[in-house]
């Protein structure tokens, strides 16, 4: 068993960290406060090769693995989660397109994501269909010439910025199996009838765009169906088994950022005539955080490494996603606690980290759903 990253992977980590440290700290508070982002930074990250590293060479990417994308996520999120998400979510959906898209769809979309000319988003969640994805009612009706889409999607990352959207649609409502009713459809967002409304007031990752989407007779050619009609649910599960790896890396990065802040503060802040770091209670918290981070990283390294070898272990991925997300929330809580009242005000970075952490337990499968997957894999 070899836990060492290769020289190339170590170089990626170093470059990603240098980029994030160079670009993020000066702007993170502004983007968080204003709920905005500078897309010039996405382009810069693309030019430097940080975006879409898992995309095949045939489609403009360097053809690396999901592990490399995880490594970049971890470094970006360690410096600022919101900005990390604003940049690296631009390819969200390319994992699905890579697995199930037609040659034409992949040639059209994937190279533009790597170069930063386009943003892809994926719309599954609806106002009345969250964890229960099979409850999605946004419909795509085949009228013989086109697919006509009607409905609404909720909480869509980059919904207000994306050039293309992968939409999880109801295509066979009468199918006796709830798992055979849906299909993915590729929608250019400049198609008439597509409307997005930015959602404001998020708790965290406020640099990342989130929107509500409505489809009012949105017409796309039949060849915009992605994968097989009626297979959307299974394609979605395959997609999540890749993208959840990235969430694990986000969580480990965020927790590292929280630990850094805790170490910095407890070494400098004195009470009872001594630095907070000299008290055993503080030392135990620091020791626990460092250990949780290491455990979560080992879990996601194994899950991502296996996925890149073609072995998808959905229970392991669910374990890694639940554990790392909860670990990140706990670390950010402990880090804020060690700041006392200072952690409660926005002048201190730890407040932002604390707010950013919570999303990790919600998106791409809530922690309850992850535990359900794990339990089913054991109990049958």
Ligand X SMILES: Cc1cc2nc3c(=O)[nH]c(=O)nc-3n(C[C@H](O)[C@H](O)[C@H](O)COP(=O)(O)OP(=O)(O)OC[C@H]3O[C@@H](n4cnc5c(N)ncnc54)[C@H](O)[C@@H]3O)c2cc1C
Which residue numbers are catalytic?
A: 364
Q: Nearer Cβ to ligand X, position 261 or 364?
A: 364
Give strand pairing partners of 183.
Answer: 169
For residue 31, CA distances in Å to 174, 204, 254 come to: 45, 11, 17
* 84: CB partners within 8 A, 6+ apart: 20, 24, 73, 76, 77, 250, 253
Q: How far is the CB of 253 from ligand X (least distance, A)?
A: 17
Least Å from the CB of residue 366 to ligand X: 3
Q: Which residues pair with 31 in a beta bridge?
A: none
Query: Measured from the CB atom, is 60 or 130 closer to ligand X?
Result: 130
Cα–Cα distance for residue pair 193/153, rounded to 1 Å: 14
- What's the CA dihedral at 31, 35, 40, 42 to 10 degrees? 100
For residue 85, give every residue at least 6 positions away whose Cβ sits within 8 Å of its Cβ, in sequence order, or none.
77, 157, 205, 207, 208, 250
Q: Nearest-CB residue to ligand X?
A: 130
Shortest approach of ligand X to residue 245 CB, angstroms? 16
Give the residue among 69, 22, 62 at the shortest CA–CA distance from 307.
69
- The least CB distance from residue 351 to ligand X, in Å, is 18
Percent helix, strand and coil across the chain, each rounded to 5?
Answer: 55, 15, 30
Rounded to a whole number of angstroms, the minimum distance from the CB of residue 294 to ligand X is 27
Cα-Cα end-to-end distance for the chain: 30
CA pair distance 257, 249, nearest whole angstrom: 12
* Closer to ligand X by Cβ: residue 156 or 255: 156
**CA–CA separation, 63 vs 240, rounded Å?**
20
For ligand X, the binding residues (CB under 6 A) are 121-125, 130-131, 155-157, 202, 210, 359, 362-364, 366, 368-369
How far is it, in rounded angstroms, from Cα 12 to Cα 10?
5
232-268 and 280-308 helices, crossing angle to 10°: 150
By beta-carbon proximity to ligand X, the closer residue of 115 and 125 is 125
In whole angstroms, the minimum distance from the beta carbon of 79 to ligand X comes to: 19
Q: Which is nearer to ligand X, 123 or 357 (CB)?
A: 123
Alpha carbons within 13 A on the beta-carbon side of 347: 3
Torsion of CA 261, 266, 271, 272, to 10 degrees: 160
* Least distance in angstroms from the C-beta of 14 to ligand X: 30
Q: CB-based burial of residue 208 (10 Å sphere; 0-12 exposed, 13-18 middle, 19+ buried)?
A: buried
Considering the complex, state which of residue 19 and residue 194 has its C-beta at the smaller distance from ligand X: 194
User: Of 61 and 93, which CB lies nearer to ligand X in the complex structure?
Assistant: 93
Report the C-alpha gap between 311 and 303 in whole angstroms.
Answer: 9
**Based on CB atoms, which residue is closest to ligand X, 59 or 168?**
168
Report the 10 Å Cβ neighbour count for 240.
23
Lookup result for tokens 């791409």: 364
**Closest approach of ligand X to the CB of residue 109, in Å:** 16
């Amino acid at each position: 068993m070899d836990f060492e990253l290769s020289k190339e992977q170590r170089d990626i980590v170093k470059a990603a960290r240098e980029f994030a440290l160079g670009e993020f700290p000066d702007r993170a508070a502004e983007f968080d406060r204003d709920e905005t982002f500078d897309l010039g930074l996405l382009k810069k990250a693309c030019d430097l090769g940080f975006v879409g590293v898992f995309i095949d060479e045939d489609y403009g990417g360097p053809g690396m693995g999901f592990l490399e994308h995880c490594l970049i996520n971890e470094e970006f999120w360690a410096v600022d989660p919101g900005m990390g998400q604003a940049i690296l979510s631009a390819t969200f959906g390319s994992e699905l397109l890579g697995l199930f898209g037609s040659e034409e769809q992949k040639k059209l979309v994937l190279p533009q994501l790597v170069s930063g000319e386009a943003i892809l988003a994926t719309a599954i969640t609806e106002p009345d269909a969250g964890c229960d994805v099979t409850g999605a009612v946004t419909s795509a009706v085949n009228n013989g010439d086109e697919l006509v889409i009607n409905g609404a999607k909720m909480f869509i990352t980059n919904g207000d910025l994306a050039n293309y959207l992968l939409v999880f649609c109801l295509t066979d409502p009468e199918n006796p199996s709830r798992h055979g009713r849906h299909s993915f459809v590729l929608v250019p967002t400049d198609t008439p009838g597509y409307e997005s409304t930015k959602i404001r007031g998020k708790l965290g990752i406020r640099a990342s765009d989130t929107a509500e989407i409505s489809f009012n007779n949105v017409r796309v050619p039949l060849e915009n169906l992605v994968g097989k009609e009626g297979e959307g649910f299974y394609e979605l599960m395959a997609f999540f088994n890749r993208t959840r790896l990235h969430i694990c890396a986000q969580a480990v990065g965020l927790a590292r950022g929280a630990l850094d802040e805790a170490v910095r503060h407890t070494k400098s802040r004195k009470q009872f005539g001594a630095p907070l770091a000299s008290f055993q209670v503080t030392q135990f918290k620091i020791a626990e955080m460092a250990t949780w981070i290491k455990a979560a990283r080992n879990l996601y390294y194994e899950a991502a490494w296996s996925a890149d070898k073609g072995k998808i272990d959905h229970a392991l991925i669910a374990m890694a996603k639940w554990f790392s997300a909860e670990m990140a929330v706990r670390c950010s809580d402990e880090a804020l606690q060690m700041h006392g009242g200072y952690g409660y005000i926005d002048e201190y970075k730890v407040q932002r980290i604390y707010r950013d952490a919570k999303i990790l337990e919600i998106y791409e499968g809530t922690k309850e759903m992850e535990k359900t997957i794990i339990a089913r894999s054991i109990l049958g």
